[in-house]
Amino acid sequence: GMVIVGVLLICMGCIFLALLTWLVTVAPTKASKGDMQFLQSCRFLLFRFRVDVWWYGMVVVLRGPLLSLPAVAFTDSARAQLLSLTVVLAVSLAIQLAVWPWKTPAVNLVDGTITLLLVFVIATASAFVPAASGATKDVFVGVSLGFMSLLFLCLGVMLVMVVLALISRGPMGSAQELSVLTLGKGPDLAVLASRFRDMSDVGTQMSHTDLIRTLE
């Protein structure tokens, strides 16, 4: 009986997550069409974050179940629980620092600080776990080697990027810089210049009061 209830709860949770994923996926299209009813219905998922990071609500939603899962998945291994929690928090912190999603800078700072402190708490709690032995020790040695390999891989990528930056003669951060260093191709300069001109033309036609109201 409990197994059936558990399976039903898991299915309901998966359906809910699938629905939220669909909402986040179609939100840009609905917004471009001016579908205010749709935007109001999923406001709880979107309104707290910057427009260009509208999808971050899914990160927040997923973080909760992922933090609860280790206690269920690794009931007999405190080490696996601590490692899983650390990975989830570290990945969420990396995403949060990369996109700075919250509309208010102070909330971004507080959110990042809380996540970092949670990582510190977990790292401190690992001191109370007895030393691993046998097969468990072998597993964690393999995991540690995997993390070390990824670390050296990242260092190698950074070294290559430094060499490319030295070879490239374009100003740092300019349109002439290599796309591999800017993590993507920059905007078309002609289109960017045209949009700036349009904004300038609109701005010159507005009064000082109208500009203040627009910025508000």
Distance of CA 125 to the CA centre of its chain: 26
Question: Which residue, among 51, 50, 55, has the nearest Cα to 21 in the 3D structure?
Answer: 55
Question: Which residue, among 95, 115, 2, 109, has the nearest Cα to 53 in the 3D structure?
Answer: 95
Write down the H helix ranges in 53-133: 56-73, 78-99, 105-125
Q: Model pTM? A: 0.74
pLDDT band at 53 (very low <50, low <70, confident <90, very high): very high
Give the mean pLDDT of 96-101.
92
Per residue in 66-92, pLDDT tens? 998 898 888 888 888 999 999 999 999
Range with the lowest mean pLDDT among 5-14, 43-52, 77-86, 187-196? 187-196
Residue 179: its H or E element: helix 179-182
Q: What's the rounded Cα separation, in Å, for the pair 215 and 193?
A: 21
